[in-house]
Structure 1
Amino acid sequence: MRLSLSPREAGALARSLRRRGPTLAALAEMAAHRFGSRTALVVGEATWSFEDLWGDAERLAAQWHREVLERPRTIVAACDGAPLVLAVLAAGRLGLDAWLANPRRIAALDGVAPRDALLVHPGDAPSWHAGPTVAASDVLSSARVPQPRIAGTRRVGRLVLMTAGTTGAPTPHVTKPFGVRGMRQLEGLHRRVGIASTDTVLGCAPLHHGHGVQLLAATLLTGATLVSSPGTRASTRLRLMGERGVTVVSGVPTQLERLVAQVEDSGAAPPTLRRIVSGSEPLDAALVARLHAAWGPVVMNAYGTTETGTVAVATPDDVERHPDAVGRALPGTQMGIVGHPQGSDAEGRVWLHGAGRTVITDDAGRIVDGSLTLLGRLDPRE
């Protein structure tokens, strides 16, 4: 499924890329011109159209430029939902770097994130932070206040994603996920998963997570609606699927297991889905069988890292044959087995390349005819 752009739409994208660089902000500005009043984002009961999302981001950027920022700074968005989306887009509008962080782990950013950054957060500012702060709850109200337009910027802001930091301090990874290679990777993800402008996508991953950001980018690129639902109960997600007409669900296996268990317990027919995209955790055969019993053979398995983004996606046919299959590399990415020539059939430790980074993983895998199947985890010391 390739993008189909009219001359007017292609022109809007080209102008956005010239003004904002190859960034999330450029995608949002292009989407505002291309998709207008269609629903872009749903968080709880609140909705944003594509034009409203970009309009709010521009107003927020103008307010921060005039009243909050004395000089250009990094923006640390330690929040989630719509405040995070608007903060990242406003940073892109201002040409500033945006760090995405788990709001429940702000203390762990001490010594990692810039101390003088503008911090957007849901609670009290941490003691280590010396810069200006904005409460996440104030972002939405500030974004609706009319503002005079501000000048453009020649600087292209970078996006900084954080590892989870479950075994230590979170590690920042500077990336330009929508550069030339990143755009190929993003469009390849769109084609592989097959997200269409008519889709409504339920995203279970937090938007500060790499998969959440990629999903947001994919919906801005294609005109699909993103229903963001991290940290909610399976019963709530199932209700949202029916109320919002969800056609694609993206989540980790743990979330998908709870969702299908809710379907099994209710005894009611579940809403129809075109795609279920699993990622970030191993997918086992028993869960695949339960998902297929509820929704048919629509399960896909995505594979990547925080540093590389999604590198490979297994099709429903791949997953039906083997649930540990993660498929072929996306355009703009590479993968292989350490110690073996790229493109050869081999078995061993997996390496990945995407978003301008190469990572040697702790996963064992087997590549046959360019398709990767995971075989389990390896000792990182080996």
Structure 2
Amino acid sequence: MRAVADILADLPPRLSQLARHWQRRTPDALAMIQGDIRWTYAQLGEAMDEAGVLLKELEVRPGDRLMLVGENCLPLVALILAAGEMDAWAAIINARLSEREIDTIRDHCGARRVIYTTDVSAEATLHARQHGAQMRALPRLGSFAVGPLNHECGSEPVEPGNGQVAALIYTSGTTGTPKGVMLTHRNIMFVGAVSGGLRDIGPGDVAYGVLPMSHVFGLASVLVGSLYGGACLHVAPRFAPAQVLADLKAGLTMWNGVPAMFAKFLEHLRLTGAKVEAPCLRFLSAGGSPLDPAIKAETEAVFGRVLNNGYGLTESAPTICQTRLDAPRADCSVGHALPGVEVRIVGPDGKDIPDGQVGELWSRGPGTMKGYYRAPEMTAEVIDAEGWLNTGDFARRDADGALFIVGRAKELIIRSGFNVYPAEVEAVFNAHPLVTHSAVVGRPAADGNEEVVAFVQVAPGTQIDAAQLGEWAASRLAPYKRPGEVVVVGHLPAGATGKILKNRLAEAARNHAYDNL
């Protein structure tokens, strides 16, 4: 891979110029696949042109926020790129959010227009109807809906170079309050270029675009990484294990997912007896939440390929570190920091601590966000004057520089004066042969202590109860780590990426209310 300084120096001002480069250089090369639709790079360019004309007709101006409510599809790609090309910000929102959440984000970002990808999303169609959007259709973009013009929208200043905000990604984190993360063209292209470069992504690759583009993992690592390398992106609106099998057989070379996706895929194989045919697959990677050793081992056994791992967060666009192709790991380390990214492990006193000890992970690099939109105080809480971002995650670093994520600081459970890291307890449950996935949260106890509560998802039709699972864990965990309650569930509540919604589980645990999970 090229030197980071050279990569940064050569990044164009806008994301769209990555696609334009390949439009000029290899116009007939395949750029996008969705179902039976194929777009070459020339056709992607035509779609971007069509989207740009549409946005001008809709009176979207430089510095405006264009809210895109939908799920992964080719028109969404064209609209994201066209918005950036005209200096508007793309606020990319997953249509599976509730009406209240959509309204809150729309009001917060002050969207000039809202466009809904109705062709691929029943939820987007429902939101469009509720907001009085009008149906439109264009030759390349197909059908979509357009919300009314917001005359009260004020435009933000246009920044020079690639410091302009490209995307506004909303994340609630552990607070439950949506925060708009401002990611610049440079932030996103840096991660796409460097993370993609470490995967050797290039022409001839077919990357799986099943991670939502409303999430920065799907946007930067997958979409922009593919565009930077001149690869083809196979777009999938939603994750469905049976469809994954078909898409793998059709020629996917790369699949980036979250651990919950791989867990559900493995469960599907066990339940159906289906066999995996992946003649072209060369790269598998997980990120977005802790990778469990059992999921890693079973995935690798099924595919005969290493399941790589990585770590990041929305505020870092997202990748901070990832494992390397030339240095496969048997453990669940998230690898080394990306070239160009600095990391620190910080103790309670704010000072760096030695390798091998657990502390808070801080990072600094070209992917670090511009800040939270309309929230400078919140930005100052997580980014210091020297540009260091406090990730809010506990980690340790081995002597060779490899990082291990121990857990989120806000999810840490303190029981009898001891620290309990949920990922460690989850790993024990996930090692059980009848368990698909698990999630562990803390619950305040009457004595000021915290209880450990484990939610365990088992395969359909499985005959195992909470007591048996409790005994399994008790024989493998120190007494202070053992769950005070085990709740067996048919499925764990998850967001659009498949990431487990621990806020909902923690609330259910506090209220002992499990019927609506």
Q: TM-score scaled by structure 1?
A: 0.81
Equivalent pair of 1:83/1:137 in contact (CA under 8 Å) = no
Q: Deviations over 1:331-375 (max 9, x none)?
A: 232222124766962421222334234432342211123210122
Q: Which residue of 2 aligns with 1:377?
A: 408
The structure having more radius of gyration, on CA atoms, is: 2
After superposing the two structures, state which structure 1 stretch, 327-336 or 213-222, moved more: 327-336
Q: Deviations over 1:201-251 (max 9, x none)?
A: 1132111110111111011111111112242320111101112x1111111
Q: TM-score scaled by structure 2?
A: 0.61
1:107 to 75, 100, 105: 100
Letter of the 1:227 partner, please give it: H
Inter-partner Cα distance in structure 1 for 2:134 and 2:257: 30
The answer to whether residue 217 in structure 2 is matched with residue 211 in structure 1 is: yes
1:326 counterpart SS class: coil
1:349 to 360, 372, 376: 360
Inter-partner Cα distance in structure 1 for 2:41 and 2:52: 17
Q: Which residue of 2 aligns with 1:123?
A: 125
Q: Which residue of 1 aligns with 2:79?
A: 87
Unmatched runs of 5 consecutive residues or more in structure 2: 117-123, 145-157, 370-387, 415-517
The answer to whether residue 149 in structure 2 is matched with residue 140 in structure 1 is: no
Q: Which residue of 1 aligns with 2:302?
A: 294
The answer to whether residue 325 in structure 2 is matched with residue 321 in structure 1 is: no
Letter of the 1:293 partner, please give it: A
Unmatched runs of 5 consecutive residues or more in structure 1: 4-9, 144-152
After superposing the two structures, state which structure 1 stretch, 43-52 or 299-308, moved more: 43-52
Q: Which residue of 2 aligns with 1:7?
A: none
Q: Deviations over 1:46-83 (max 9, x none)?
A: 22111211211112211331x32175532111122222
Equivalent pair of 1:205/1:211 in contact (CA under 8 Å) = yes
The number of equivalent residue pairs is 353
RMSD: 3.3
After superposing the two structures, state which structure 1 stretch, 278-287 or 23-32, moved more: 23-32
1:58 counterpart SS class: helix
Equivalent pair of 1:304/1:352 in contact (CA under 8 Å) = no
Inter-partner Cα distance in structure 2 for 1:101 and 1:349: 30
**Residues 1-382 of structure 1: pairs in structure 2 closer than 5 A:** 1-2=1-2, 17=12, 21=13, 23-65=14-56, 67-69=57-59, 72=62, 73-80=64-71, 81-105=73-97, 107-113=100-106, 114-121=109-116, 122-123=124-125, 135=135, 140-141=141-142, 156=164, 158-163=166-171, 168-176=176-184, 178-179=185-186, 183-214=189-220, 215-243=222-250, 245-264=251-270, 265-272=272-279, 273-308=281-316, 309-315=318-324, 320-323=329-332, 325-339=333-347, 345=355, 346-354=357-365, 355-357=367-369, 358-368=388-398, 369-379=400-410
Inter-partner Cα distance in structure 1 for 2:61 and 2:235: 33
Letter of the 1:348 partner, please give it: G
Inter-partner Cα distance in structure 2 for 1:360 and 1:380: 15
CA drift at 1:88 = 0.9
Letter of the 1:210 partner, please give it: V
Q: Deviations over 1:251-281 (max 9, x none)?
A: 1111112223444543535314211110112
Identity %: 26
Equivalent pair of 1:365/1:374 in contact (CA under 8 Å) = yes
Are residues 76 and 317 of structure 1, via their aligned partners in 2, closer, same or farther at CA, if it must alter by over 3 Å?
same
Are residues 318 and 377 of structure 1, via their aligned partners in 2, closer, same or farther at CA, if it must alter by over 3 Å?
farther
Equivalent pair of 2:208/2:255 in contact (CA under 8 Å) = yes
Inter-partner Cα distance in structure 1 for 2:80 and 2:229: 19
CA drift at 1:108 = 1.3
Inter-partner Cα distance in structure 1 for 2:128 and 2:167: 22
Inter-partner Cα distance in structure 2 for 1:204 and 1:166: 24
Inter-partner Cα distance in structure 1 for 2:39 and 2:81: 14
Equivalent pair of 1:253/1:282 in contact (CA under 8 Å) = yes
Inter-partner Cα distance in structure 1 for 2:238 and 2:69: 16
Letter of the 2:194 partner, please give it: G
2:70 counterpart SS class: coil
2:289 counterpart SS class: coil
